[in-house]
Structure 1
Amino acid sequence: MVVLLPVYQPGETLLSLVDELDAARVVIVDDGSDPAAAAVLDRAAERGCTVLRHPVNRGKGAALKTGFRHIAEAYPGEDVVCADADGQHRADEVCRVADRVRETGRMVLGVRRFAGMPLRSRVGNTLTCLLFQAVTGRIVTDTQTGLRGYPGAMLGRLGSVPGERFEYEMNVLLEAARLGNPIDEVTIATTYLDDNASSHFAVVADATRIYWPMLRFAASRAGKQRP
């Protein structure tokens, strides 16, 4: 297993997670953080992590794809677990997702219980899950989770999925639905620090990026069903 951590303006929670993982198998992609983050990133590198850096902020999707390309070259055939480094995901949960990927050979989502989410996140995630089910016919419990595991055989395909920002992860789910690929789930704790104050999710802009691919997906399916 290789752990991929896309980060922007990381803090001490990144180092806490790294300390609980095998740092030699952690790839961090910094998405254009300002110089204040350099000390944390340098300390992660000193612990044995591979640290890749975008000179400017390009978005979470771009950071993930940079990480996937590196891992495909440096660790060919290895499964990958992507996690957020803001304190939401624990090392034991990362390992549980990795174990499920290894057992099933499938994409695996670490899904949160909605009961512990801040109201804004709970409402947004519920709406997104319902819309995803409506347009794909597939039930996914947590479409917005950042804890996701992928078998090594998927890495090449993940690099071709469109999207540079938060819409990328939705596009990955839509691609799985389009291809009929199974998606497994592992329940994880719902952990938010300071009511998710560290999130870089821009409510209006990023919500639009997430919903637009689903509407395009629905329109494409409707077009194919016309006589």
Structure 2
Amino acid sequence: MSAYPEVVVLLPVHRPGPHLRELVADLLADGACRIVIVDDGSGPAFEPALAAVRALGCEVLRHPVNKGKGVAIKTGLRYAETTFSGMDVVTADADGQHSADDIRRVSERSGRDLIILGVRRFDPMPLRSRFGNTVTQVLFRNATGRAVSDTQTGLRVYPAALLGRLGAVEGERFEYEMNVLLDAARTGQPMEEVVIPAVYLNGNAGSNFGGLSDSIRVYRPLLRFALASLMTRRQP
């Protein structure tokens, strides 16, 4: 019997590796979740990997071309809202960064109308990732007044009551997850953190984060939010 509420686990994938099937099989072992995979234009070469998880009982949604992680997440959120009404959604990365135990750890905290963030420990992080997370953390706190330890985590619980709103948040790629946090700060949405291990397999080679271009996408809405906040505070 599961120790946590039944949730929808949403896995946006692009050119998935062997970790996808391992993760899905582990999650399904306790029968405590529904799994929705959104394939973001991986192409015919990855059909065997997707067929393997479909055979395990997952729902696999397909984008014919790559549209970005943000679009993939929103596709999954809209599907979950209509197909699994009233269930919270857990988003996770399927590139080996998040284990089934990590997903269970955050799922245990679901069902309370909170956004739950699975935040990574900084100690084992590569220097570049640690520096980027630290800078973003400081900027986010100064801009919003809210402290978030890991603004770039992809492991999150989104409450069922928010799915419609989250489906309308701007962002097509990695900036979407930052925009969700900014929207939560703007509206006063409660958030909570759960510490998870930081795992980087093969130097994080499985990540689809595109370096400078995606970093710019992430920082642009944060800087825009900070500027708007500053202008508001300066008004008499």
1:34 aligned partner: 43
Distance 2:125 2:157 in 1: 22
Given candidates 72, 84, 89, the residue that maps to 1:80 is 89
Partners of 2:137 and 2:47 lie apart in 1 by 37
Match of 1:63 among 66, 72, 76: 72
TM-score (structure 2 length as normaliser): 0.93
Show structure 1 runs of 5+ residues with no match.
none
**Does residue 181 of structure 1 match 2:189?**
yes
Q: C-alpha distance in 2, partners of 1:193/1:36?
A: 22
How many aligned positions are there?
226
Q: 1:105 aligns with which of 82, 89, 113?
A: 113
In the alignment, which residue of structure 2 is the partner of 1:203? 211
Alignment of 1:122-161 (within 5 A): 122-161=130-169
CA drift of 1:2 comes to 0.5
State how far apart, in whole Å, the 1-side matches of 2:173 and 2:53 are: 24
Q: Which amino acid aligns with 2:58?
A: C
| C-alpha distance in 2 between matches for 1:35 and 1:118 | 33
Quote how far apart the aligned CAs of 1:222 are. Answer: 2.3
Distance in 2 (CA, whole Å) between partners of 1:93 and 1:214 is: 27
The normalised TM-score by structure 1 is 0.97
Match of 1:121 among 119, 129, 132: 129
What letter is aligned with 1:189? P
CA displacement 1:198-217 (0-9 Å, x = unmatched): 11111111111111101111
In structure 2, C-alpha distance between the alignment counterparts of 1:36 and 1:144, rounded to whole Å: 29
Instruction: Kindly indicate which of the two structures has a greater share of residues assigned to helix.
Output: 1
Q: 1:8 aligns with which of 6, 14, 26?
A: 14
* DSSP 3-state at the match of 1:116: coil
What is the deviation of 1:21? 1.1
Mapped partners of 2:106, 2:226: distance in 1: 30
* 1:20 matched residue in structure 2: 26
Identical residues among aligned pairs (%):
57
Which letter maps to 2:10? L
Is the partner of 2:204 in helix, strand or coil?
Answer: coil
SS, match of residue 174 in structure 1: helix
CA contact (8 A) 2:96 2:206 kept: no
Runs (4+) of structure 1 exceeding 4 A deviation are none
Q: Write out per-residue CA displacement over residues 108-146 of structure 1, whole angstroms, 9 at most, x where no aligned residue.
A: 000000111111111111111111111111110001111
Instruction: For 1:137 and 1:195, locate their aligned partners in 2 and report how far apart those are by CA, in whole Å.
Output: 33
Aligned equivalents of 2:167, 2:89: Cα separation in 1:
13
Distance in 2, matches of 1:222 and 1:121, equals: 28
